[in-house]
Amino acid sequence: MAKQYFGTDGVRGTVGKEPMTADFTMRLASAAAQVLVPSGGTVVIGKDTRLSGYMLESALEAGFVAAGVNVMLIGPLPTPGIARLTQEFDADLGVVISASHNPYHDNGIKFFNKAGSKLTDEIEAEIESHLKEPAITLESHKLGKAKRIDTARIRYTEFCKSTLPKGSNLEGLKIVFDGANGAGYKVGPRMLAELGAQVIPIGCSPNGRNINDDCGSTHPELLSTTVPVVNADVGVALDGDGDRILLVDENGSIIDGDQLLYILATARHAEGDLHGPVVGTVMSNLGLEHALQSKSIDFRRAKVGDRYVLETLRATGGVIGGETSGHMIVLDKATTGDGLVSALQILAIMKQTGKKLSELAAGMEKYPQTMLNVRTEKRLDPDESEAIQKAVQSAEAELADAGRVVLRASGTEPVIRVMVEGADGDQVQALARKLAAVVEEAAA
């Protein structure tokens, strides 16, 4: 069954328009309760710092309580923290109110099962099948209860710290931390400081409207400027909900998800602690694949979306995977992508080896890659357009074996992503622009 509302990362949209309305959110909670906890249970609900989070939190609370489900309200905390606490509190499901890296006027709702993992496509489709029905309200004696949890940040902090090698700390490291004015604005800098690092926080003053606004992993320019100016060792940037990350080295150079994956994988491989293949996506840089192959490390590609990376890891027995955007999964440390846990693994490698971040990343050569987003007014499947497919075949023939072309519809925005990658940067840019023009014409 095709899904109407669920994308690659939950339900998402502009606040005030369906599906991001109070009425729809209440029905979504009711539908989820009927599918996942039909006999009652407990749900953990967390959020990021968007102003609309108050409205959607109340709507979810009402929908679940009316369906006989007990609610634990966590407040602002990174998405992976909600996944973790869902397990720790032995809840039946977790819900996060966030649109991740999107601007504040968007919001979204993500679900985790009791194991702290994202729902399958089949379960999401089943939830959608109930959305045309009005929200249910049980008899008074069957209603659920709601309570706020004040220990959530401390519990999540202790979990993150426990993923470091025993006895290790971050003493001697000077870190600039960018919280994207989002869910990790408080837990991130405090945790790093507790581990002994000297922390300079930026992007840690949320007002409900400045999440991801010229800060965080999607806008790392200020972080890149700040790190060398204050002579920091490294910069750490989360996105709005704290499940993706990028780092900045001591020179201010951005270290993206592909490079972080290379650092993690090669360090674990050197220790004899790398199990199964490393998993990236169809968008992962070709340089990552070649760098890992040179060290005899198996590399696989999954569909875009950390849920698909996770599925491939589980199917192949791997433990390390991620996306260029910074969704990093270290499966023997956490059940889902976790920006802070991933950052701690990289920082621990820096401490253990005594190497600068630039040195650790130097073993991977990034191929020039151009990504263009073509906004569409109507749904367009690039695979079904003859004109687009002819243009792709022409570009691939021109690149020969020295590059790749990937076209895909975004699962979170009304855009077609055009990616071209190859050894010749000028050629890559020219081909990407040519393909984008064909996509624009096809989408008109």
- Whether 427 maps to a domain, the answer reads yes
Give this prediction's pTM: 0.89
pLDDT in tens, 180-193: 999 999 999 999 99
Tell me if residue 325 is catalytic. Answer: no
pLDDT at residue 92 is higher than 60:
yes
Q: Of 302, 336, 361, which one is at a domain's C-terminal end?
A: 361
- Based on the domain organization, do 190 and 101 belong to the same domain? no
> What's the pLDDT at 386?
87
Of the chain, the percentage scoring pLDDT greater than 70 comes to: 99
**Co-location of 22 and 129 in the same domain:** yes
pLDDT band at 307 (very low <50, low <70, confident <90, very high): confident
Residue 1 lies in a domain: no
What's the confidence (pLDDT) of residue 9?
82
Check residue 412 and give its pLDDT.
Answer: 67
Residue recorded with tokens 């889902």: 336
What is the model's pLDDT at position 435?
94
Whether 350 and 374 map to the same domain: the answer is no
Phi-psi region of 167 (alpha: psi -120 to 50; beta: other; left: phi over 0): left
Position 2 pLDDT exceeds 80:
no
Residue 98 forms part of a structural domain: yes
Looking at 361, 394, 409, the residue that finishes a domain is 361
Percent of the chain predicted with pLDDT > 90: 86
Same domain, 232 and 214: yes
Domain boundary among 326, 361, 396: 361
Classify the phi-psi angles of 16: left when phi > 0, otherwise alpha if psi is within -120 to 50, otherwise beta.
Answer: left
Tokens standing for residue 92:
């039946």
Strand partners, 399: none
Going 270 to 271 to 277 to 279, the CA torsion angle's sign is negative
Give CA–CA dist 29/8, Å, rounded. 19
Kindly tell me the sign of the dihedral angle through the C-alpha atoms of 276, 322, 205, 198.
positive
Number of domains in the chain: 3
* 131-140 mean pLDDT: 95
The yes-or-no verdict on residue 383 having pLDDT over 90 is no
pLDDT value of position 156: 98
Residues 339 and 392 in one domain: no
**Residue 60, pLDDT score:** 98
The confidence score (pLDDT) of residue 201 equals 98
- Residue 21 to residue 13: CA distance in whole angstroms: 9
**Over the stretch 423-438, which tens digit does the pLDDT of each residue have?**
899 999 999 999 999 9
Which one from 30, 52, 98, 100 is the annotated catalytic residue?
A: 100
Find out whether 64 and 33 touch, Cβ atoms under 8 Å. Answer: yes
For residues 228 and 303, state if they share a domain: yes
In-domain check, residue 376: yes
> 264-303: buried (b, 16+ CB within 10 Å) or exposed (e) per residue?
bbbbbbeeeebebbbbbbebbbbbbbebbeeeebebbbbe
The backbone torsions φ and ψ at residue 236, rounded to the nearest 5 degrees and listed phi first, read: -125, 125
Provide the CATH number for the domain around residue 387: 3.30.310.50
Question: Is residue 386 assigned to a domain?
Answer: yes
Report how far residue 165's alpha carbon sits from residue 171's, in angstroms, rounded to the nearest whole number.
Answer: 14
pLDDT per residue as tens digits for the range 252-284: 999 999 999 999 999 999 999 999 999 999 989
**Angle subtended by helix axes 339-353 and 187-194, to nearest 10:** 30
Give the model's pLDDT for residue 241: 97
Q: Do residues 225 and 260 both lie within one domain? A: yes
pLDDT in tens, 201-247: 999 999 999 999 999 999 999 999 999 999 999 999 999 999 999 99
Query: Are residues 179 and 130 part of one domain?
Result: no
Q: Which of 37-46, 205-214, 291-300, 407-416 is least confident?
A: 407-416
The pLDDT value given to residue 1:
57
Give the pLDDT band of residue 73 (cuts 50, 70, 90).
very high
- pLDDT tier at 408 (50, 70, 90 boundaries)? confident
Q: Which domain holds residue 417?
A: 369-443
132 and 205 part of one domain: no
Residue type for position 104: Y
Q: Are residues 205 and 350 in the same domain?
A: yes
Say if residue 349's pLDDT is above 70: yes
What pLDDT is recorded for position 410?
78
Q: Which spans in 271-338 are helix H?
A: 286-293, 306-316
- Are residue 120 and residue 17 in the same domain, yes or no? yes
Give the domain CATH number at 220: 3.40.120.10
Task: Please report the pLDDT score of residue 381 as a whole number.
Answer: 78
- Do 326 and 390 share a domain, yes or no? no
Q: Is residue 327 part of a domain?
A: yes
**Beta strands at 174-178 and 106-113: parallel, antiparallel or unpaired:** unpaired
Which pair of tokens denotes residue 226? 């700040």
Record the tokens describing residue 437, joined without a space.
């023009």
Which residues lie closer than 8 Å to 206 by C-beta, 6 or more apart?
Answer: 49, 76, 181, 182, 185
Residue 444's pLDDT is what? 74
pLDDT at 44: 98
